[in-house]
Structure 1
């Protein structure tokens, strides 16, 4: 087996994974984890067991942190449970493409807009005791909370994914550099 070619394919997949942490509908951490697993199996985890465990933990934490950051954003905006459920429903509907058909973007825009619109609608319905004009402000605030939390979560996930790739390269390069191209 030519480990040199495999190594660069694994690195390329990991770079796509890093990009996928911020681009909707492109797998992110799962690509990085899969690439690491392929390399580990191919090399029988020679000399990289503990760094690989650290990378797996970092990437799993990054996924959890992304969801927690969105939840934190909703909480900081003072949104109700209705806004939180609306954001989840909006996410699902947006991903499935059930938002109004758009000429460009479709599910990608749905993934971005779904939670924001869902939080707005959920909070708007929760505030039904207020006048129409008074319901807009808390609903908008809930939407902003979802947006800020999502951005924060994506940035954290991006940074942790880059750290994981750096750890991989630093720990595997000594082995690969000794191989002939």
Structure 2
């Protein structure tokens, strides 16, 4: 049964890491779920209160910062609420319309269209679109670092 636990746990870790750049995957939720899969199939014994507090804190930081960094970046570049909404829609739809390239083009166009609906000029919309990319890249880096930390902590907790 332990081999099944490891296959499922590592698969969820993999899904979580792919979810960093492919937003339709559950990302950090898959990593968090992996802890429960391991616990149910092997043992919850290595996981004490501090493990759950640290991992839950990291999960919440990722959730809050993921949206917050993108929105803050768009706002910093002069974007409106419409461009924040456009960025989010573009981030979700972009990969479906244009696999791979849609990850970058979707949020850029979404933010630009959001600004254009607010009667802003094309130069301003372009600037806000670039701001959405800065936010996306910052958020992606942050998620990568923190999700990797969650996985490393898991292994440290069960091995030491």
Tell me, yes or no, whether TM beats 0.5. Answer: yes
The answer to whether the 8 A contact 1:36-1:52 is kept is no
Structure number with bigger Rg: 1
Of stretches 112-121 and 28-37 in structure 1, the one that deviates more from structure 2 is 112-121
Other-structure match for 1:57: 57
1:119 matched to 2:111: yes
Give 1:4 deviation, angstroms: 5.3
Gaps of 5+ in 1: 129-134, 175-181
TM-score by length of 2: 0.83
Gaps of 5+ in 2: none
TM-score by length of 1: 0.74
Residues 10-159 of structure 1 aligned to structure 2 (within 5 Å): 10-50=9-49, 51-94=51-94, 97=96, 105=99, 109-127=101-119, 135-159=121-145
Distance 1:92 1:22, change over 3 A: closer
The ranges of structure 1 where at least 4 consecutive aligned residues each deviate by more than 3 angstroms after the TM superposition are 23-27, 88-95, 108-112
By relative contact order (CA 8 Å, sep 6+), the higher-ranking structure is: 1
Distance 1:8 1:170, change over 3 A: farther
Q: How many residues align?
A: 159
Give, in whole Å, the separation in 1 of the partners of 2:12 and 2:84. Answer: 34
